[in-house]
Amino acid sequence: MSLRALYVNPMEGEVNPAIDAIAYGLQQSLDQAGIDTRMLVADFRDPDCVARTGAAIRAGTAARVDAIAFYALDPTGPAEAVAEARAAGLPVFTFVRPFFPVNAAVLYPNFNHGVCMAEWLSERLPAGARVAIIGGPDTPDDAEEVAGLLYAFARRGVNVVNDPTDRAWCNLTDVSSGGMEVTLRLLEEHQQLDGLVPYNDETMLGALEAFDEVGRPDGLQLISRNGSPNAVEQVRAGRSQGTWDLDASGIGTTLGDLVVHHLTVEPLDDHLGISPVGRMIHAANVASWRPWTDRISVRPFTIGLDETAP
């Protein structure tokens, strides 16, 4: 019998391109090792997401898959389900390190992303510039990126006019409609902005929708993070000045390689890997950008667990 791994995805497919790319990267690494990937979904936007994630992990434990992976957007849960899986001899792997033991986790250099993004933008802003930041859901990766942005802007003397740790200035939905809503409120309160930094590309696309509706402040510089195809098209069109390509598919292959190592080379426990740092995609280098679908192979996921081992 071939090895099987379960991945609990935090969103349905084709909602957030970066989430898709991470999952496809994970699947590619497992495919190359002959490991069958199964997927269940526990949408982080659901109030009972932690419980759903725990239920998915328990389903994988009952089905006796050979490894379980999930996105630890809530670092405190689902600790009990993970402990049960590990007690049953199943290794567990996570994107983002949780507050409880797992076999291996992939860290993102989120703070560094924020620092590099802010440095890049600061070099293109006038002295005493005013910028706004749109934060995201209260997850470790998004919060660390915002912390890096705030640190670097303060070091460069750039004035951040809002508090992106305040939920009022966060896109809690992680999709473009939420970004539009927050941007409209920002533009009502702050008419003079030199820069706007939505924490991810989907939020940036919502900001552009807001600009289309009420107008864009003159000279406003706009950057975001993820390097998704639609965001790169906005760079080509001159509507966005840059998107930080964090190599989402590379995040997926990084964790996938750890799963493969554990199952085929030697066991891992409390092991940490780190994903690629990436680069800013802007007008001067956009021609060199390759979409993630050209970096990895893409095939449909197998949804669900169709058998339980005796």
pLDDT in tens, 229-277: 999 999 999 999 999 999 999 999 999 999 999 999 999 999 999 998 9
Is the domain of 162 the same as that of 114? yes
Is the domain of 87 the same as that of 185? no
3-state DSSP of 176-245: HHHHHHHHHHHHHHCCCCCEEEECCHHHHHHHHHHHHHHCCCCCCEEEEECCCHHHHHHHHCCCCCEEEE
Is the domain of 137 the same as that of 241? yes
CATH number at residue 164: 3.40.50.2300
Pairing between strand 36-41 and 4-9?
parallel
Tell me how far apart the alpha carbons of residues 200 and 187 are, in angstroms, rounded to a whole number. 18
Look at residues 173, 177, 179, 202 and name the one whose alpha carbon lies nearest to residue 132.
Answer: 179
Whether 138 has a pLDDT exceeding 90, the answer reads no
Largest CA distance in the chain: 68
Tell me how far apart the alpha carbons of residues 310 and 307 are, in angstroms, rounded to a whole number. 9
Query: Is residue 283 a part of any domain in this protein?
Result: no
Is the domain of 70 the same as that of 146? no
- Tell me the sheet residues that pair with 4: 36
pLDDT in tens, 108-122: 999 999 999 999 999
Whether 11 has a pLDDT exceeding 90, the answer reads no
Alpha-carbon 124 to chain mean position:
26
Tell me how far apart the alpha carbons of residues 308 and 64 are, in angstroms, rounded to a whole number. 7
Residues 6+ apart with CB under 8 A from 288: none
Residue with tokens 């992680």: 174
Query: What is the mean pLDDT of the segment spanning 65-81?
Result: 95
**Domains in the chain, number:** 2
* Cβ–Cβ under 8 Å, residues 205 and 228: no
Query: Is residue 51 a part of any domain in this protein?
Result: yes
What local confidence, expressed as pLDDT, does residue 140 receive? Answer: 87
Domain encompassing residue 22: 4-108+248-277+291-303
Q: What is the pTM of this model?
A: 0.88
Is the domain of 86 the same as that of 122? no
Q: Give the pLDDT band (50/70/90) at residue 307.
A: low
Is the domain of 153 the same as that of 79? no
Residue with tokens 């292959």: 253
